[in-house]
Amino acid sequence: FGIYLPALLVDLYGLTPVDAGMRAAGFTVLATLARPVGGYLGDKIGAEQVLTFVYAGMTIGALVIAFGMENIWVMTAACLFMAVMSGLGNGAVFKLVPQLFPAETGAVTGLVGAWGGLGGFFPPIVMGILKDATGSYVLGFLLLSLFALICFLLNRLVFGKKAGEPTKRYAS
C-alpha cells in the first residue's frame, strides 16, 4: 500500500507527487509504529485474536476505500485505518512464528519476511492492471477486501478455539 499510495493519490486527487509521497510516508510511519503494538497485543491476548481483528478490519477498510474514494477525507481516514491494521497484523504474525515453529524460528521468520515482501510487490501490479482494464480502482479494492475476508476465514478455521487456550503447534 505504501508503494502504490503516491500514484493512487496523484491519479485520484491530482496531488503533487511530493504531497502524495508525504502522505504515503505518514501511512508507512503509522504502520511501523503499530507493529510493536501488534506484538504486544499478541503477547497479551494472543496473535490469533489480533489477526482475527486485523483481517476483519482490513476487509471493512478496503470496502470503505472502494466505495468512498471520491472523498479525500474518507480515503485518508480509511488509509490511516489500514496502516494501523497492517502494522498490528505485522507484529502479530511475527509473534506467532516462534509459537508455531520454535525449533525453526529463524528460517521461518526469513520465509515469512520474504513472502511479506512479495505480498507488497504484487498488489500494486494487480491494482495497476485492473485500473487500466476497468478505468477504476474499485475492483482492486474489492479484491483486497475479498482477500482479507478469506484470510479472516482461514484464520478462524486454523485457530478457531476458545480464547485463552494455548496455541497448538501445527508444524514441526
Angle between helix 105-134 and 138-159 (nearest 10): 150
Rounded CA-CA distance 61/124 in Å is: 17
Express each pLDDT in 100-145 by its tens digit: 898 988 999 899 888 888 877 888 888 889 999 999 999 999 999 9
In this structure, which topology does domain 5-159 adopt according to CATH? Growth Hormone; Chain: A; (1.20.1250)
Mean pLDDT, range 23-36, rounded to an integer: 95
The domain ranges of the chain are 5-159
Closest listed residue to residue 66, CA positions, set 150, 139, 133:
139
pTM for this prediction:
0.85
Q: What is the pLDDT of residue 171?
A: 47
Interatomic CA distance for residues 87 and 155, integer angstroms: 17
123: which residues sit within 8 A by CB, 6+ positions away? 1, 4, 140, 144
Q: What's the pLDDT at 147? A: 93
Rounded average pLDDT over 19-23: 95
Angstrom distance (rounded) from CA 127 to CA 158: 29
Give Cβ neighbours of residue 165 (< 8 Å, ≥ 6 apart). Answer: none
In the chain, % of residues over pLDDT 70: 93
